[in-house]
Chain A
Amino acid sequence: MKLTIRDVTKTYGSTRALSQFTYEFGPGIYGILGANGAGKSTLFGLLTDTLRRESGEILWNDTDILRLGRKYRAQLGYMPQFQGYYPQMTAQEFLCYMGELKGLPRKTLRQEAQRLLKEVDLQDVAHRRLGQFSGGMRQRALLAQAMLGDPHLLILDEPTAGVDPQERIRIRSLIAKVARERIVLLATHIVSDVECISHQVLLLNRGHLLGAGTPEALIASVQDKAAQRVCSPEEMEAYQRQYGFGSVFQRQEGQVLRLVGDDLPPEFEPVDTGLSLEEVYLYYCAGGKAR
C-alpha cells in the first residue's frame, strides 16, 4: 500500500497553508513535526478530503482519493486534533456508532468495539459516559474509534495532547503496536513521541516540507549546528535576542543555554552528543536554519 502526495497546495485567502507538498508514504510511522500554523492539520484535512484541494494529486495505491471516494474513507482511520465526542454516550456506544458510520457489520461490531476497548485499556469503563472520562481516557477512546475497521491508513493529529506522561507512553506504545503493515501519520508538537516510535520524520514550516528522514539522519544533520554555555539570566536574554530562541538546561554548574543554528557565538562549546529531535526542530522549524 502507498499514499502519494504530489505538488499539493492549499491557500486560505492570502495565506498559503501548504505549498507544493510532495511525498510518498509506505507502511510505517511518520511523525510530522511543525510549529502552529505549519500546515499539519491542513495536510490532514486534504488527506481526509474535508478540505478542497486547489492543485496537486493525492493518490492511494495510484488512484486519486477523490475517485475512490467512500472506498478510500473505508480504509482511513482519523483522530482529529480537537477532541470531538458525545459526552452522553458511553465508550462502547460511541465505538458502535462510529463503527456503524464506517460500515462495519453489526454482528461483529460489538466484539470489535470490545476488543479495541481492551486494546486501549478501557474495558472496565466501557459502560461509563465519555463525559465522565479524564482527558487521557478520552484520547484513548478516540484512538480506539480511529482504529475501528482495521484501517490501512491511520491519521492521528496530536494524539497525546494534554495527557500526563504515563498516558502518553501508553498511547505511544499502542500506536507502535498497531503500526505494523499500516501507514500511520502522526502530527505532534511533542518531539519525544516522534523520536521514540517514528520510522520517518517530516519537518513542516509555513506550509513547506523542509526536510524528511529517519530520526537518526536528521539528528546527524544538525551535528555541528549546536553549541552551549553556562550563562547568567542577563546573558541568556542577550544571546537569545541576538542568536534566536534556544533551550535552557538546569545543571549543577548553573543554567546552560544551548543554541542551534548556522551562526553561533564563538564562545559557545560545540555539542556533539546527546542531541535530539528537539535540536532538529529548533534548527529547521524555529528559524535556526535561516540564521
Chain B
Amino acid sequence: MRKIETDIAIIGAGSAGLCAAIQAAAAGAGVVVFDENQLPGGQLFKQIHKFFGSREHQAGVRGFEIGQQLLEDVKKSGAKVMLDSVVYGLFAENSLGVIAEDKYHYEVKAKKIILAAGAKENYMAFPGSTLPGVMGAGAAQTMINVNRVLPGKRIVMLGSGNVGLIVSYQLLQAGAQVAAVVEAAPTIGGYGVHAGKIRRAGVPILTSHTIKEVYGKEEVEGVVLAQLDEKWQMIPGTEQDIQADTLCLAVGLNPMTELAWMAGCQFTHIPALGGHVPLHDHNMETTKPGIYVAGDITGVEEASSAMEEGKLAGIAAAAALGCLSQEEAAAKKQEVLRRLDMLRTGLFGEKRKAAKEQQMADMAGWQALTAEKGGVK
C-alpha cells in the first residue's frame, strides 16, 4: 500500500473542490485533490451556456471557460490533483482509502478533509423506465457537450427546471429534435429566459403533465403522457402518444453524502436542498472536527455558490492549520460570505437562503445540545 500525508485532502475536483484547493494552497497549506473522473472540473465543462448574476460571479462567462480558469489557478497554486482516483472510504483519524487508476491502493492521512463530492441525479420509476433511451438529463448533457455524441434524434424532456430547460436547448443546438418538455407542476420550474429560448424554437412545454409509460421493443420508441389534475392524479382520457427515441429525466438532484455518513457527521433533512444534508457551520465545518463540506454535498444549489462555499472551506481549513492569521482569514471569509449572500437573492435564491439558514440553525442547535452534554466526543 502506498501512503500519502498531506495537510488537506479534498474529495472532488469540481467547482467547489477546486476553489477550496486554490484558497488553501495559496495560503501555504499542502493540498491533494482526489477525483474519480479522468478530467477535473466537475460539471463546469458541460456548461456551455453563460452564467447568470453579477460581474463578480462571472455573469456572461460560459461554464467551461470558468472551468479552464480554475484549472490554471490550481496549477499555479501548487495543489496536487489526482485523477481517476476513487475515494472508497473515510476512516478514523482522517484517513482515506483511495484506489488510483484501478490498480494503486493508497492510504491518505490528512490533517483536514474537505468533502466536495457533488450531487447525483434523481431517478424515476414508471412502466418502461429501464428501456435503453431513458437517461438523466445530466447524462445527455455529458454526451453532447463532453463526448460529442447525440443520445437520440427525437427527445422528450421530463422536468422544466433550469436543468431540463438548458439541456433541451443544448440538445437542439446539438442537432436533436425536442418533441416536448413535460412538467408535472402547473408552472414552469426554471428561469423565464431559458424557457423563452426553447419556446421560440417551437418546443412545447406541457405543464400539469406527466409520463404514464414509455414503450418500445428493444429501446424507447415512444412516450405516453397524461394530464394531471389539481391533486396530481392522472386524468383518464388525456393520454397522448409522442414518438421519441429518448426520454431525459430532469427531476432534480440529491447530494452525494456517503462519505459524510461514513465519517459519522450529523445530518438534517431539508427537502429544498435535496433531502438529508450534513450539518455545517459558517466555516463549512461539519459536526466532525476537521471535516469540512462544500458545494452540492451540502445541499443542491448551483456552480456559483459551490465555488464560494469551496473558497470558504479552503480558507477555514488553512486558517485552522495556522496558515492564515485569524484576521487574514476573517477578512477573506467576510468577502466570500458577502458574495454568497448576493447569490442567494431573487425568487429562487431566497428559498435556498432560507434553507441554508435552517441548516446552520440546526447546526447551532446541535452544538448547544452537545455542549450541554460536555462537548464533542
A complexed with B: no
